[in-house]
Amino acid sequence: MMKDDPTLVLLGLSALYSTDTPDAGSGGASSSPVRRIGDSERMAALSTIVDQLPVGVAAFDIDEALVAWNPAYGAFLSGAGIDLHAGMAYESILRQFYDNAGARQGDRAEDVSLADRLRWHRAPKGPWRVRTTDGGWYETEEFRKPDGGFIVLCRDVSEQLKTERALDAARSHAEASNRAKSEFMATMSHELRTPLNAIIGFSEAIADDMLGTLGDSPYRGYAGDILDAGKNLLAIVNDILELSRLEAGEIDLKEDRVELRSLLNGVLLGLRERISRNGIDLVVEVTDEATVYFVDPRAFRQILHNLVSNAVKFTRPGGRVTITSERRRDRCLLIVHDNGIGMTADEIALAVQPFKQLANPMVRSSSGTGLGLPLTKALVELHGGQFDLTSVPGAGTEAKVTLPLTRLA
């Protein structure tokens, strides 16, 4: 290729030359003359730039005849046994390339037909990738020019594809490991539930004198302790199982119309003793337009239970817990607010991670594995919603569930 060949301008690169306008930074005045760069210097500069590109570049005219190319393009086709010369037809280049290099598309072993390649050439959409018999991968792009000709860019993407495949393999391995972990946790949870149900059932029978009285024997109290411990452990196992199923994508929502107040009443009934014992002021504010939800009843009851029980657990005696449901423009909100111990920003980040417990002494003194909020977040997102926590240490916490309006029935 001739260094001063003016046809290089067909490559469509911007000309490198000084403008005729004075330096804008000097307020219109120039302290030194601006050297004009002539056409020959400009063409030489463009030629040098194109020659140094690691990407193969070639220009073809409106008749699809080769006009100019850089060394990288020539080297690429030379490796396929093609000796380029000006005026060479693009179809001829492609025909020789597919015949000599055995180019193949994708991962298939079959040769791609020249007709396929020419069809793409007539209406190129995105890059065209091929691999050669030596295992190399090349990517071609074509760009039309205003005069009817076109520019071809060709680059070796072998290393790029190796990296992409390594990342895909690593991602697949991580996903497989995560699935294996979830499946193991689910299996173990199932195995634990069977003996736990037996422990709960027998201890309940003993505590309730179902098969005869124990009188004033301390064994009655022991049976009650076993029953409470068994129920707590079963609740933990159920949470682990639920979280494992969510991570494995094995939970399908069974949506139905649900009265929010009815769900709340069931949740509050189970927490009544703790609420009463701590003298907590409970306020429920549900607007008329946000009282019926279209959700999975079981999953949404779990969401409510986790949020309300957390608020009650970490609110000091005599404190207040407020539950609000309302519609705001294009969304509906469910908010559980308390004036309890609160959390820092770092503690909030830990609270939504499974099996994380906070260093706060009041939190550490409370039972639990730290699964409630992560499980809540996952269930909310499964409903197409968003879960947010805001908190101020010593002032309280607000848990906000934002759902699309489609969740209002």
pLDDT tens, N- to C-terminus, the chain (409 residues): 444 443 443 344 433 333 344 444 444 444 455 556 666 777 777 777 777 788 889 999 999 999 989 998 888 888 778 888 999 999 998 888 877 755 544 444 344 577 888 888 888 877 888 776 667 788 889 999 899 899 999 888 888 888 888 888 888 888 887 777 777 776 777 788 888 888 888 888 888 878 777 766 787 788 888 888 888 888 778 777 777 777 766 677 888 999 999 999 999 988 888 899 989 999 999 888 888 899 999 899 999 999 999 999 999 999 999 999 998 888 899 999 999 998 898 888 888 887 665 555 555 445 555 678 888 998 999 999 999 999 999 899 999 999 998 888 7
Q: Are residues 146 and 180 in the same domain?
A: no
Whether residues 262 and 347 share a domain: the answer is yes
Query: Within a domain: residue 273?
Result: yes
Q: Domain with 178 in it: what CATH number?
A: 1.10.287
Q: Quick one: 369 and 397 in the same domain?
A: yes
Q: Does residue 135 share a domain with residue 29?
A: yes
Domain termination site, one of 103, 133, 156? 156
Do 223 and 319 lie in one domain? The reply is: no
In a domain, residue 227? The reply is yes
Question: In this structure, are 376 and 265 located in the same domain?
Answer: yes
16 and 129 in a common domain: yes
Rg of the chain on CA atoms, in Å: 36
150 and 166 in a single domain? The answer is no
- pTM, two decimals, is 0.52
Domain containing 140 — which CATH number? 3.30.450.20
Query: Has residue 238 been placed in a domain?
Result: yes
Tally of domains within the chain: 3
In a domain, 1, yes or no: no
What range does the domain containing 242 cover?
162-247
